[in-house]
Amino acid sequence: MTNPLTPEVLADPVALTRTLVDIESVSLNEKQIADWVEEVLRAVPHLTVDRHSNTVMARTDLGRSSRVVLAGHLDTVPLNNNFPSSLRGDLLYGCGTSDMKSGVAYALNLAVTLPDPRYDVTYLFYEAEEIESRYNGLTLVAATHPDWLTADFAVLLEPTYGIVEAGCQGTMRTIVSTTGVRAHSARSWHGVNAIHAAGEVLDRLRAYRARSVTIDGCTYREGMNAVRITGGVAGNVIPDRCEVEINYRFAPDRTGAEAEAHLREVFDGFDVLVTDRVEGAPPGLAAAPAKEFLAAVGRPPIGKLGWTDVARFAALGIPALNFGPGDPNLAHHPDEHVEIDKIREGAVTLHRWLGTP
């Protein structure tokens, strides 16, 4: 099959976005798009290119005093009657238009068209961001090629609607359990109803007042919410166990351990099992490349409400920000789309930032 990433397409971020969207790449099915991205990059004389699984790395080695990373994931969530792309007025619709093939288009366009950036640049086009962490391309690269991630600053090209979203929240999933004693529902007084006991868990959640934390001018609004409840044995049995699954989004001024201690305090007296916990990331605004990037964008940053792979860079001591043309509220939506003007505006911003003064 002929590679659709032609020189004409690569030169235009809008055409490039649409072409990337029309390459189906649901998580774990990124080989075709990775093959074509690799083929294009290996033909660029100012880049050194390598690959691990379906993650492609390209880098300049110009001897600059600083190195920055531009990273974007190649995968999408499953298709939902939104493939291939369609153009309606100034809106481009399709799976991955917002999250995040318009951002990937930025990196690929820059890699091909900008031979002399002001910083050395590492471009990472990685796999499997939308599924479990063990498949994530950055996780695999950190374990096998950690030097690919070495940098002074990183930009994750996630959808932010053209605004810099700094850092990210941490997230934790927990199971809070109640126990009881089984009995026949006709003689319920002989048992203890675990579902009824879970009412106290829900009462504590209703009464909980989440913090809003401002760090370096960026506000992170926390949240602690029940997302699933399970319990019951049969239609005529008093249940002896009930589980409430809780998702806690915490500001990056708390470590994961501190967040867990707080959650256990909230549910003191209950059985609490932490099933998943990932750290957040501070805003990362102090690095010189970050300051120059913010000046190029020309708008103040806001805190990222959610978790992104900026946390992986923060864990390595690399400040990182989120920036992309898509609307994060449209990510994973059946009507996912991106504004053409936002693609062009962001591309100009990145060229202004990385172009040699």
Inter-CA distances, 60 with 118, 120, 199, 350, Å? 11, 5, 58, 16
Q: Which of 30, 99, 127, 129 is catalytic?
A: 129
Identity of residue 118: R
The reported pLDDT for the residue numbered 85 is: 97
Whether the bond between 100 and the residue before it is cis, its omega within 30 degrees of 0, is: yes
Mean pLDDT to the nearest integer, 276-283: 93
Instruction: Identify the H or E element spanning 204.
Output: helix 199-207
- Provide the β-strand partners of residue 221: 212
What is the rounded distance in angstroms from the CA atom of residue 155 to the CA atom of residue 139?
Answer: 17
Residue 129 is a catalytic residue: yes
Q: Quick: pLDDT tens for 142-185.
A: 999 999 999 999 999 999 999 999 999 999 999 999 999 999 99
Task: Return the DSSP state at 300.
Answer: -
47 close to 117: Cβ distance less than 8 angstroms: no
What is the rounded distance in angstroms from the CA atom of residue 78 to the CA atom of residue 43?
Answer: 31
Is the model more confident about 134 or about 266?
A: 266
Q: Quick: pLDDT tens for 235-258.
A: 999 999 999 999 999 999 999 999
What secondary structure does DSSP assign to 95-162, as a single string? TTIIIIIHHHHHHHHHHHH-SS-SSEEEEEEES--SS-GGG-HHHHHHHH-GGGG--SEEEE----TT
- What's the mean per-residue pLDDT of the chain? 96
Q: Quick: pLDDT tens for 91-142.
A: 999 999 999 999 999 999 999 999 999 999 999 999 999 998 889 999 999 9
Task: Return the DSSP state at 325.
Answer: S
The reported pLDDT for the residue numbered 133 is: 85
Q: Among residues of the chain, what percentage have pLDDT more than 90? A: 95
The reported pLDDT for the residue numbered 126 is: 98
Residue 259 has pLDDT above 80, yes or no: yes
Residue 356 has pLDDT above 80, yes or no: no
For tokens 């999408």, the residue is: 76
Q: Quick: pLDDT tens for 283-323.
A: 989 889 999 999 999 999 999 988 999 999 999 999 999 99
Mean pLDDT to the nearest integer, 210-239: 96
Q: Would you report the helix, strand and coil content of the chain in percent, each value rounded to 5?
A: 35, 30, 40
Q: Which of 30, 38, 75, 279 is catalytic?
A: 75
pTM of this prediction? 0.89
Domains of the chain in sequence order: 7-167+281-354 (3.40.630.10), 175-278 (3.30.70.360)
Q: Among residues of the chain, what percentage have pLDDT more than 70? A: 99
Cα 142 off chain centre by: 17
Mean pLDDT to the nearest integer, 6-34: 98
The reported pLDDT for the residue numbered 357 is: 58
The reported pLDDT for the residue numbered 84 is: 96
pLDDT bucket at 55, cuts 50 / 70 / 90: very high
Mean pLDDT to the nearest integer, 191-210: 97
In the chain the first and final C-alpha atoms are separated, in Å, by: 40
256 close to 170: Cβ distance less than 8 angstroms: yes
